[in-house]
Structure 1
């Protein structure tokens, strides 16, 4: 068996993937849905931008903390969190609420 690191420098020849290798799987769908909903909720909640004891111990004042996390940055990450939640809902409902007969998936 060849090392994964060696595959970067000496890649295997290209080949066509079968539909079995590229179809959606339930564990993949569940994991992407859970990650999107969880991380999106974390970003949308504003938890990454709370001034806490950790910053106080490092000697960072509340004013300096606000400068390190400007409003445009907080807003853009919250927007990304909302987008991840929407993506998670779409991804989680795909296959059983809509797009049931998608090519490459198990037909219901």
Structure 2
């Protein structure tokens, strides 16, 4: 078996993928949904930007903490978290709510 590094310099020839290889699978959809909703909720809640005892023990003042995490950055990540939650809901309901004809990969 050859190394993955060798395939970077000498890539295998291109080929067409079959429909079976590109089909979505239920575990993939579940994991994508769980990750999107979970991590999106974490970001949207503002938890990464809480000034806690950990920062106080390091000697970081509230003013320094806020300068390291400007308002535009906090709002941007909270918006991205909200978008991830929406994507997770969209992805999670894809096969059974609004796209009932979708076929999944068989195991």
TM-score (norm 2): 0.92
| Aligned-partner Cα distance in 1 for 2:98–2:40 | 22
| Aligned-partner Cα distance in 2 for 1:87–1:61 | 36
**Is structure 2 residue 101 aligned with structure 1 residue 93?**
no
Aligned position for 1:8: 8
Taking the TM superposition and a 5 Å limit, the aligned residue runs for 1:49-60 are 49-60=49-60
Give unmatched runs, 5+ long, in structure 1: none
Query: What stretches of structure 1 move > 3 A for 4+ residues in a row?
Result: none
Structure number with greater CO (CA < 8 Å, separation at least 6) is: 2
Name the Cα RMSD after superposition.
1.0
TM-score (norm 1): 0.91
Taking the TM superposition and a 5 Å limit, the aligned residue runs for 1:65-80 are 65-80=65-80
| Aligned-partner Cα distance in 2 for 1:47–1:61 | 18
Offset of residue 57 of structure 1? 2.2
**Is structure 2 residue 35 aligned with structure 1 residue 35?**
yes
Offset of residue 5 of structure 1? 2.1
Task: Give SS of 2:13's match.
Answer: coil
Say how many residue pairs are matched: 104
